[in-house]
Structure 1
Amino acid sequence: MSPEHTAGSSSLPALDRRTVLAAVAAAGCATALTPAAARAAVPPADPVERRMRGMWIASVVNIDWPTRTGLDAAAQRAEFVRLADDALAWGFNALFVQIRPTADAFWPSVFEPWSQWLTGTQGQDPGYDPLEFMVETAHRRGLAFHAWFNPYRVSMQADPSALAPGHPARTHPEWTVSYGGKLYYDPGVPAARRFCQQAMLDAVRRYDIDGVHFDDYFYPYPTAGSDFPDEETFRAYGAGHPDKAAWRRHNVDLMVREMRDAVRAVRPNALFGISPFGVWRNAATDPRGSRTTAFQSYDGLHADTRGWVRRGWLDYIAPQVYWHIGLPAADYAVLAPWWAEVVRGTDTELWIGQAVYKSGTAGQPAPWQDGKELTRHLTLNATLPELGGDLFFSAKDVRADRVGDFAAMRTAHWRQPVLGPLPARLDRGPLPPRPTLEVRREGRTGAATLLITARARGNKNIPFRYAVHRFPGKPGRRLEAGSASLVAVVPGGKETVYHDAEAPAECWYAVSAVDRLQRQGRMSRPAY
């Protein structure tokens, strides 16, 4: 990730079903319609708006989590629980968590040592399985968990002897290259590429993740006056390519295409996507490029990001358009439409990487100081139908929100709840079963408590989330269920309680179950 360089409705904890039912019965006001009335009143479940609202959680050099090395297991878990709770409260629906930052692991990997960013010592067991804990913590809150990997970076320093004993980069020095004060696996060495893929797929195979995520680090960002030292590798493996640049792009293409294929083979429902540097090529270099004069990922990182989209290799692309509207070299108002054109006519979702870390930061240009730049970005995004959401870098900056930029954006653009994105290739198979709904009204205040119960057998068919729809008046006429009627999307479970503090005195409800893929099932019978 390039910055490494540089009182309304609420969801309540699940309650004991008998306790809630007793309270509802005692109140004498839980009402459901007869089957005939229900058939007349229940609207179809779709359409509702679908958006990615994602937050990056970076672990390298303890950017976001853990906040420092050496925290014990209980403290690490508590920090992550707070992050997940805050993400839910802020309106996010997905976490993108860095779990392999420097060729080390946030799980008990059979390929690589424990990450130094957990304990301070690479290879030291933190005393629990962080990845297992994080996935479970996110899923209990209805948050998708995307595992964020750095494919090639081995270390933030260049000395192999500083790595843990037995580290693969020490036992296979022929795989590594020192460049710019850091250590990397050489993308041009086939054995190194295959090893990196195996190391990442270990987590994909063993953990119930929702996606595999790469950021913008492929070949490293160039160091002034120094070329990446892979001449020997090029002589060994570069036959058939017109020049080293074409060969390097071929190497990165192999990593991307092979990982896409492997992820779909191992975990077919997991998304595979990339968050690249925001400029592919400038139009002055390539007429297909953007009207920018910035660094070019195609040439500088050997990442053909536009080509990956056009070839159908990605479920989504989330370019880091980390610049303000009006910046001459790389104008957000130029790049967002350019990326929309890139994905047009493809099955690739487009989400935009947003630089909340710039908001209110000393030294950033004036547009990042007025607390309105993110709002301007999402206002422009709303004019681009191909654009399906945003990712925000990163968690600590969302929390700091130094000039209220993120809060203003939420007020302007996130007041309406949404479901998560549903790529076309996953929109298949049986939908989640229809839940049951009971409503308790609380006197004259208008507040309502909803008890939502899944039709699940054991641990099967338990919804991931519930979509809560509210309609004015009394049931009896068919209404359109969609974004206008959607008042909440809450974590799923066998029994879920939702408290609507802003319920009108006269209204009725229907809910639908949403599965892990974000598919919405049939609406419940109405209740009021």
Structure 2
Amino acid sequence: MKNQLLFLIIAILVVLPFNRSEARQSGEIPEAPKHEFRSVWVATALGLDWPKTTNAANAELALRNIIRNMKAKGMNAVVFQVTPRGDAYYQSDRLPWARRLTGTMGQDPGWDPLAVAIEEAHKHGMELHAWYNVGKLGDIGNADLQDSDEPRHIYFANPDLIEEVGTEVWLNHGKPQAREWAVANVIEIVENYDVDAIHFDFIRYPSNGYANDFDTKQEFNPENIIGTADWRRYNVNEFNRMVYDSINVRKPWVKVGSTPIGHYKLDGGWPSLKGYSGVYQDSRRWLQEGVNDYLAPQLYWDIGGADAPQMDWLVRDWMGETYDRHIYIGTGPYKANVFAELPRQIDSTRVNNAAGQMHFRYDNIVPASTFGDRYDRPSIVPPMPWKEMTGPNTPANLISFWPGGAGTELTLEWEKPDFGRGEPEAVRYAIYRVPVAGDVISEEDITVDATYLIAVTGETTFTDAPGVASEDYDYYVTALSRNNVESVPAGASVNTSLGENRHLARSFELDQNYPNPFNPTTNIRFTLGEAGPVSITVYDLLGRVVAQPLNDSRPAGTHTISFNASHLSSGVYLYRLESGSMQITKKMMLIK
């Protein structure tokens, strides 16, 4: 059994998807990556997936069960439709409550589905993406609008901002006030709810635009764009710019994604609707301009279809122009031929280095065999390098114990690490289990891939059944930021034949000093797994001791000391934490 755990980490390393060209050539099933977005659209429009009852208690339980089932199937994010047709599945001062919650549009259901979905998703360590339909706002041919005169619905409140296309009601993207109305709806969600992302659908025109676009273009064309098609694309692009900036200034950690038409622009010899020319959706420009963090193109075809775009061909097409943003491939298991090959479609996305998958829709992925074994291992949503890449502090005071006696179920408990001194908040946790017997595993290899990852949770406790009696294990817990950047692990050694029912986890950590750079005072925080003598020594780059702010005994736990460097010159220094045979060294910078 290893006697010590030592991590010398100066910067966070993000593991990006590796090139899987060899798997592509050999036909082998690619390995499931540690970082992969996995989700399912949960549709509320027409009650497709949910709600299927107006009974509040039953509807809430059904929603929670959907999220729990998604977790059990290996998902790490929920894409929940909160604004399907100009209405709301959340408390809004701008939009009416959805009719399908109570039977009457605008009637308060007495509970908040979005708040419940966020709570349930976060408890299970999953992200919650609030799905907002931008363009399509209703259908005067169904009961949602036929049986209502709800004054907050845009159809009644702002008829000058909409267009009727057949029986469908659409937002007129060409009018600045219409775009501002939609942006304000989104910002209401962002300000009032702890969502991880906003997910846009129908972020486009209907085919052929609107009949009166000539007049609208004459009135609203600040860039003097000549072509009507280019003008329509400009209007949708402008909405993206406005909403991204508005979200980023309020909550920069909230992601923005869209699900565009799956066939972007190239013909490829197949007859199908093109996003760019058919519905004026220049989605790749949103990536290029940095106003979308991800796209989930709707590739709702099979791999080898002769009469439609081929799914794997389109995957390669999308992955050829990512602009260093994320692509999550949208699949269509509502089609029998797609459902039958869904594991192969997941393989195709992995071989082509897509950042994940999103499946349409929940009711179509309920069968147990839907994904084969492709999601048997858990995964972490990939971090986005253009967002905050600082990791949280290490989980504090990790302990392990056997509630039912040694050799049964093991429970780990820890405390949420402190934050706010430059470190981001921990919002979920990753748990790793490493058998001690066998090959020696370096500390760096434990968290580098999915081999030892056994769970991701939003709680500060986890119960595991190791399964092998009398075998020693090392458990590690890392904290994850909102951007899914991991902390340095906290570790615990466990033996299934332990006589003691509870013990303190092995933990020895040194945090980055804060502030850093500093002048002349900084704080140094460290964690000890057991009581004992401890020292912190400061060295210059020649290895000479210049200060020793701590040389004493301390109890187990987390401690902070203050270091005053007023007697030192500006420069880079090393500070070393030592206790017994363990030591960790980090850098600090003094600037006067």
Most deviating of 47-56 and 153-162: 153-162
CA contact (8 A) 1:210 1:270 kept: yes
Most deviating of 157-166 and 73-82: 157-166
- 2:316 maps to 337
User: How many residues are aligned here?
Assistant: 465
Within 1, Cα distance between the matches of 2:192 and 2:46? 26
Within 2, Cα distance between the matches of 1:477 and 1:332? 39
Rate the CA distance shift 1:256–1:504 in 2: closer, same or farther, 3 A.
farther
| 1:350-377 superposed Cα distances (whole Å, 9 cap, x missing partner) | 1100112113xxxxxxx447x3x11211
Alignment of 1:65 with 2:50, yes or no, is: yes
Alignment of 1:74 with 2:57, yes or no, is: yes
Among 369, 378, 386, which residue is 2:346 paired with?
A: 378
Alignment of 1:466 with 2:443, yes or no, is: no
Normalization by structure 2: what TM-score? 0.72
Rate the CA distance shift 1:484–1:166 in 2: closer, same or farther, 3 A.
closer
CA contact (8 A) 1:146 1:212 kept: yes
Rate the CA distance shift 1:477–1:170 in 2: closer, same or farther, 3 A.
closer
Letter in 1 for 2:242: E
CA contact (8 A) 1:146 1:210 kept: yes
| 1:188-247 superposed Cα distances (whole Å, 9 cap, x missing partner) | 11111111110121011110100010124421245xxx9544343233224712122111
SS for the counterpart of 1:399 is coil
Letter in 1 for 2:324: D
Rate the CA distance shift 1:274–1:193 in 2: closer, same or farther, 3 A.
same
Within 2, Cα distance between the matches of 1:199 and 1:434? 37
Percent identity over the alignment?
24
Within 2, Cα distance between the matches of 1:506 and 1:394? 42
Among 472, 478, 494, which residue is 2:442 paired with?
A: 478
Letter in 2 for 1:145: L
Pairwise CA distance, 1:525: 2.8
Among 110, 117, 122, which residue is 1:134 paired with?
A: 117
Rate the CA distance shift 1:160–1:62 in 2: closer, same or farther, 3 A.
closer
Pairwise CA distance, 1:444: 12
- 2:151 maps to 165
Pairwise CA distance, 1:494: 3.3
- 1:303 maps to 281
Among 185, 195, 213, which residue is 1:209 paired with?
A: 195
CA contact (8 A) 2:401 2:410 kept: yes
Letter in 1 for 2:65: R
- 1:9 maps to none
Pairwise CA distance, 1:501: 3.6
Pairwise CA distance, 1:442: 10
- 1:7 maps to none
User: Which structure would you say has the larger Rg?
Assistant: 2
Larger relative contact order, structure 1 or 2 (CA cutoff 8 Å, min sep 6): 1
Structure 2 residues without counterparts, runs of 5 or longer: 16-32, 495-592
Pairwise CA distance, 1:445: 9.9
SS for the counterpart of 1:521 is coil
- 2:541 maps to none
Alignment of 1:397 with 2:383, yes or no, is: no
| 1:440-476 superposed Cα distances (whole Å, 9 cap, x missing partner) | 5799996551413125469995541222232341897
1 or 2, which has the higher helix percentage? Answer: 1
Rate the CA distance shift 1:465–1:67 in 2: closer, same or farther, 3 A.
farther
Letter in 1 for 2:363: K
- 1:495 maps to 461
Within 1, Cα distance between the matches of 2:120 and 2:483? 18
- 1:125 maps to 108
Rate the CA distance shift 1:231–1:160 in 2: closer, same or farther, 3 A.
farther
- 2:392 maps to 431
Alignment of 1:242 with 2:226, yes or no, is: yes
1 or 2, which has the higher strand percentage? Answer: 2
Within 2, Cα distance between the matches of 1:136 and 1:390? 23
Q: Superposition pairs for residues 65-464 of structure 1, below 5 Å?
A: 65-68=50-53, 71-157=54-140, 162-221=148-207, 228-238=211-221, 240-283=224-267, 292-328=270-306, 329-343=308-322, 346-359=323-336, 367-368=337-338, 371=340, 373-385=341-353, 387-400=354-367, 404=369, 406-408=370-372, 411=373, 413-440=374-401, 449-456=410-417, 463-464=427-428
Normalization by structure 1: what TM-score? 0.80
Structure 1 residues without counterparts, runs of 5 or longer: 1-31, 284-289, 360-366
Pairwise CA distance, 1:67: 1.9
Pairwise CA distance, 1:134: 1.5
Letter in 2 for 1:324: D
